[in-house]
Structure formats: structure tokens, C-alpha cells
Amino acid sequence: MLLGCIADDFTGATDLANNLVRGGMRTVQTVGVPSKPLGDDIDAVVVALKSRTIPAAEAVAQSLAALKWLQLHDCKQIYFKICSTFDSTPAGNIGPVTEALMRALGCDFTIACPAFPEAGRTVFKGHLFVGDVPLNESGMRDHPLTPMRDANLVRVLQAQMQGKAGLIDYTDVARGPDAIRARIAALKAAGVKVAIADAVSNADLMHLGRALKDMPLVTAGSGVAIGLPQNFALTGAAATALPRSTGYRAIVSGSCSVATHTQVAHFVRHGGAARAIDPVKLAASASEVEQALAWAKPLLPAGPVLLYSTATPAAVQAIQSQLGAGRAGQLIENALATIARGLVDAGVDQLVVAGGETSGAVVQALGIEALRIGLQIDPGVPWTLSLGARPIALALKSGNFGGEDFFVKAFQVLQ
Ligand code: ADP
């Protein structure tokens, strides 16, 4: 294993794995620290944690446990995957986890860089831009858990660190790997432990990647991963090649995001077999799940079926005020996960899931511990194949990802 990654959330882990696969690395994503061997035809492992917003001490403990597993499997370099909007608070978790990993690795310097220009995340003079606006003017300003009110990442990082934070300025990044290495040497001499790195283009990420060749730890969003595969001697085996799935096809959607609405509408408009799951009926009777499965099973041989709770903001609000937001979400996630399980038992082995939390619930219900990452369907969303006795092809799409035709295109990509 060449690259061992620790991701602070599940869909971010997939995003990173997708970039590594695009760079030619055969990549497996695991749900937490793996309990079983993953096989030996793997270049990179991404251990997906849920550590972004938990207390810093817990995030450190979980990350160190993941590191231990990766070290046991001889990973040459460690990548701590953070959010591309640097989601964190003065208490952490980017600073504390990075410093703990550095201590465990005996590493005296690393970078922290959330830049991913293809996704509209650029860093200039240490300031993070989301699309055309500074971080503190983006929607992240009002995030419920990690409101980002300062675009100056050196300042944001410094508040979370015991050691000194610094900056690898754009003028050095643009001049290439040698200039970046010289800047790193100067920062180290000045006592800096972690430096924010500027990057506004893929060319910058490639320069950074080359300069980071011998760095034991890299803290970054998924963008920096674009520049790392060039450092490794890869076998040349096709990283996206997954065994063919030949069973039934289905889509389960618990996402109420705008993009998902258009995808559901597109699927229905094009004659797809679709059934809405009504949370009011779910709350009243458990037989709603059985009825949904009884509806779906006879239709499976004819093509993909869609089961969805995707609903308008007004409908969501109505059920939330009846049950409470937490209970409504849980009820629907459980129902969709049970439906997914029932579909797989009925012979589905190509499954699209829409919704980040919904995906987590489905993966758990299917008992999946690790996924091999395959071909990208739309930016950031690849097909994956579960490892284990009965492999299932899964496309896990969080909220606003994917084009309007995603539910149709996904199965075409798999052919
Ligand atoms: P996204 O990635 O779009 O945010 P998630 O699956 O992460 O989607 O989150 C959607 C949440 O909304 C889940 O907890 C889900 O159970 C809940 N939900 C889905 N449909 C409805 C609905 N009709 N009414 C209320 N809550 C819903």
C-alpha cells in the first residue's frame, strides 16, 4: 500500500478516493478502521471516519487508531483528508488531529491545503475562496456546526494549534516544486510546523504534489490528491476496472436537496418506475416498507426502480413539526435502509443511493465495511463495489451532486 488516508467524513472520503482513482491509484474506501484484510491489489486506502465535528480528543483518538492500522500495512505516506471549506472551530479538529498525527509519525512539518480549483475552492495569500467569494461571505458563514467567519486560514489554523502556523505563498507555488521546497525549508527554520499552501489551479496542485513527495503527512482537501499519484511507481493496472454486475437495478433516495429533486423528476419524466415513500404513513404503520418492497419486486426484471422520500421543503417541514426533525430523519433513514436491504435480498446488485446520511444508513444496513472505487459517473460521484461475499455495485450520491440525468446515466456508465 502506497498511500494511507484518514478522512474526517464519509462522502469526503469518496471524493478523495475518486481523485486518487482518476490519478491511476487502485483505491479502497473503508467504513471506519478495517476489521478484515482488504486484499493486496490496492495502492491507496481511505479510512472514512465521522470525526469532523466530534470533540477534538475523540477525533484525535479515532485518527490515531486509523493511523496505526495504516502503519501496520506499510503505507508510505499518510493523508489527512479535511473539508474543502476547512470546516472546523477554534477547538479543532484540523489543528489537533494534524499535530497528533505529526507526533505519532515523528514528522516536524506538514502543509494544510483545502484547495480544489475544479470544485471552486481556491487559496490565495492564505485566504480561501468558495467560488467567487471569500469563505466568510459564502454559505459556510452560517453553517450550523462549523460557521466559518474568517477566510484567512493561517489565522483559523493558528487558533487550533499548539505549534506555529505559516504560509506557502502563491509566488512560490507558481514557480514549481523547487521553490516550494525552498520555502518549506525557510518555514521550518523559522519554527513553523504546519503551513497553509496557496493553490488556484490544477497546475499548482501538480507542483505541490511533486514537492510533497517525501512528506510523511499531508493534510488537505481532496484536491491535493490530484498531484500525489505522479510520485508513486504505479503498476499501470486500470484503477477503475470493477467486475461486471449483472443483477437487478434500483435507486433509493432520501435526499431532499435541489439537485436530487431534479433527478427524481427527470427519472419519472422518462418513464422510470418510481414510488414515493410517505413519512406520514411510515410513522403510522411499519407495513409501508413491506408495501414498497411488494410494489418494487415484480418490476425489477424490467429495469431500475426508484423508491424516494425526496419531498418539498413544505412537506419536510410538516412532518418535522409532527415528529421532530431528528425523529423524522431517523425514521426515514431506517425505512430506506430496510428497503435497500430488501431490494438487495431480491437480487439487486446495482444500487444508487441519494443522500449523504441516507447513504450512511444504507451502507450500515447492508453490513458493508469496504468499497472498491470505480468509474466516475459525475464529478465527485464514482461507482463503487463492496468487498465481501456478495459484491454490490453502489453509487453513493450526497445532496447536490450529479447532473439532472444522474439516475439514468449512472446505469449507462456501468454497462
Ligand atoms: P443530503 O445529502 O441531500 O443532505 P441526507 O440523506 O444527508 O441528504 O439527508 C436528508 C435527511 O432528510 C435524512 O435524514 C432523511 O431521512 C431526511 N428526509 C428525507 N426525506 C424526508 C422527508 N420527506 N421529510 C422529512 N425528512 C426527510
Annotated domain spans of the chain: 3-231, 248-414
pLDDT at 379 over 90: no
pLDDT at 239: 84
19 lines ligand 1 (CB under 6 A): no
Give the pLDDT band (50/70/90) at residue 285.
confident
pLDDT at 184: 98
172 lines ligand 1 (CB under 6 A): no
Mutate to test the pocket of ligand 1, among 331, 332, 334, 336 (most ligand atoms within 8 A of CB): 332
257 lines ligand 1 (CB under 6 A): yes
Given 3.40.50.2300, 3.30.70.360, 3.40.50.2000, 3.40.50.10840, which CATH number is that of 3-231? 3.40.50.10840
Q: Are 341 and 366 in contact (CB under 8 A)?
A: yes
Element holding 352 (H helix, E strand) = strand 348-354
Mutate to test the pocket of ligand 1, among 278, 282, 309, 396 (most ligand atoms within 8 A of CB): 309
pLDDT at 245: 87
Q: Indicate if 248-414 has the same CATH topology as 3-231.
A: no
Q: Which of 87-96, 121-130, 280-289 has the lowest mean pLDDT?
A: 280-289
Give the pLDDT band (50/70/90) at residue 356.
confident
d(CA 166, CA 242): 42
pLDDT at 388: 86
- Determine the topology of domain 248-414 in CATH: Molybdenum Cofactor Biosythetic Enzyme; Chain A (3.40.980)
pLDDT at 267: 98
- Grid cell in block for residue 231: 510520485
pLDDT at 236 over 80: no
pLDDT at 237 over 80: no
pLDDT at 357 over 90: no
CA-proximal residue: ligand 1, atom 13 (nearest): 329
When the pLDDT of each residue in the chain is averaged and rounded to a whole number, the result is: 95
How far does residue 277's CA lie from ligand 1's centre (Å)? 12
pLDDT in tens, 64-98: 999 999 999 999 999 999 999 999 999 999 999 99
279 lines ligand 1 (CB under 6 A): yes
Q: What is the CA radius of gyration of the chain?
A: 22
Q: Which residue's C-alpha cell is 505516506?
A: 77
pTM value? 0.90
